């Protein structure tokens, strides 16, 4: 499956490794829709299973001191956390995936060994804008990362040009 977001085509991904949260019936059941990231995808390597949570934006506010920037950053953090929580709620049986929209490999993954990766892609960002955003987000997620044993290097902020070099987009 290919997922088009913010001017980029992510994928291709196997349906069995994917949960397209924004488009799911599970998400549509919520009366007051929480803000969520675009999708989750499981990527298996020889040594690890990485569960990527994708958020994509076309741009970002230029000043890290502005109210617009603080709202922007806060919304990204909220989307990541809500997406993480929805996925975990399905895995522990608090919400059901009646339509089989959460890929079977995601359902069968061993959560204790999965490495969560939070990826923010800002399509039109300049490289020098990314480091302050990344540092700020990592600082604000410090306690969350400690609680869930998420490595700081698994909080990633990339430009559209940088993500094209990773093989995550076509």
pLDDT in tens, 73-96: 999 999 999 999 999 999 999 998
Look at residue 65 in the predicted model and tell me its pLDDT: 65
Q: Is residue 62 predicted with pLDDT exceeding 80? A: no
Q: What is the pLDDT of residues 110-164, one digit of tens each?
A: 999 999 999 999 999 887 888 888 999 999 999 999 999 999 999 999 999 999 9
Q: What is the pLDDT of residues 9-52, one digit of tens each?
A: 999 999 999 999 989 989 988 888 999 999 999 998 888 999 99
49-57 sheet: strands from edge to edge: 18-19, 39-44, 49-57, 115-122, 155-159
What structural domains does the chain harbor?
A: 3-164 (3.40.91)
Look at residue 129 in the predicted model and tell me its pLDDT: 80
Q: Is residue 64 predicted with pLDDT exceeding 90? A: no
Look at residue 121 in the predicted model and tell me its pLDDT: 96
Q: Which residues of 111-139 are buried (b: 16+ CB within 10 A; e: fewer)?
A: eeeebbbbbbbbbebeeebbeebbebbbe
């Amino acid at each position: 499956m290919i997922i088009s977001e913010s001017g980029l085509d992510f994928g291709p991904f196997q349906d069995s490794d994917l949960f397209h949260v924004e488009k799911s019936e599970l998400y549509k059941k919520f009366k007051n829709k929480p803000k969520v990231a675009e999708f989750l995808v499981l990527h298996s390597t020889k040594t690890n299973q990485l569960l990527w949570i994708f958020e994509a934006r076309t741009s970002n506010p230029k000043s890290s001191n502005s109210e617009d920037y603080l709202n922007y950053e806060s919304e990204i953090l909220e989307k990541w956390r809500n997406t993480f929580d929805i996925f975990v709620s399905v895995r522990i049986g608090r919400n059901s995936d009646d339509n089989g929209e959460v890929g079977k490999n995601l359902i069968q993954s061993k959560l204790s060994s999965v490495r969560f990766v939070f990826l923010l892609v800002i399509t039109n960002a300049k490289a020098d804008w990314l480091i302050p955003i990344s540092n700020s987000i990592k600082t604000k997620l410090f306690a969350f990362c400690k609680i869930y044993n998420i490595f700081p290097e698994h909080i990633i902020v990339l430009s559209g040009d940088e993500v094209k070099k990773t093989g995550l987009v076509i």
